[in-house]
Amino acid sequence: LDLFYGLAKIGAIFAPLNWRLTAAELTYIVNDCAPAVLICSAEFTGLLAEMRPDVFVEHLVSLEGAVILGAESYEEGVAAASAMEPERPRLDGDTPYCILYTSGTTGKPKGAVLPHRHILWNCINTVVSWGLSENDVSPVLTPLFHAGGLFAFLTPLFYIGGRVLLARGFDAEASLRAIVEERCTVILGVPTLFQMWLDTPYFAEADFSHV
């Protein structure tokens, strides 16, 4: 989320990668969108090592202690940065905000370019159509490389001043307990996820009256 909002603020474009893809598939996407910067965390350094002979990126940035030859540290860069508010470029509504790649089931993945205007109006429309308020809380259970993870409730709730729950991975019972303990009010999921919840021993005693 630091990158999602920080890049937009300076007029750069956010292009998240689907970590479930193979090195060859990711190589195609990276070469297609030609990023100036590639950021990688420790858990994906092996995947990046497979990709490096076939991609060229001007700047590599390591995240969360990742050891990557020739990379700058994200955390060190943030720590050394000025506390002063950076100058904001003048952006119009059609300036690209992010690029999300399609699944490419019948061909190569295609980058869908979403401008600032679309992100803003999605927030407004979702807030209005769902009746969201600053009192709403939602768990983000879909990946942040996916439109559902970013735009279903996350950005609309940030827009209205609500709250989201983030997790590094998915655990059926842990996520269910978090929903109850944090009194989540709106939930986005898929049938498989709901079935996993139904199969947990905790489901029978969980109180969903706040949803």
Q: Where are the domains of the chain?
A: 2-85, 118-205
Phi, psi angle pair for 19, to nearest 5°:
-70, -5
Q: What architecture is the 118-205 domain classified under in CATH?
A: 3-Layer(aba) Sandwich (3.40)
* Sole residue written with tokens 């090592």: 49
User: Kind and range of the H or E element at 122?
Assistant: helix 116-130
pLDDT of 87 higher than 90:
no
* Rounded CA separation 125/114 (Å): 16
pLDDT of 104 higher than 80:
no
pLDDT of amino acid 1:
86
| Top-confidence residue, 58 or 106 | 58
What are 148's two structure tokens?
Answer: 């559902």
Q: What's the mean pLDDT in 86-105?
A: 89
Enter the pTM of the model. Answer: 0.88
Q: What is the pLDDT of residues 181-207, one digit of tens each?
A: 999 999 998 899 999 999 999 999 999
Q: What's the mean pLDDT in 6-32?
A: 94
What are 121's two structure tokens?
Answer: 């109006």
Q: What is the pLDDT of residues 142-195, one digit of tens each?
A: 899 999 999 999 999 999 999 999 988 889 999 999 999 999 999 998 899 999
pLDDT of 89 higher than 90:
no
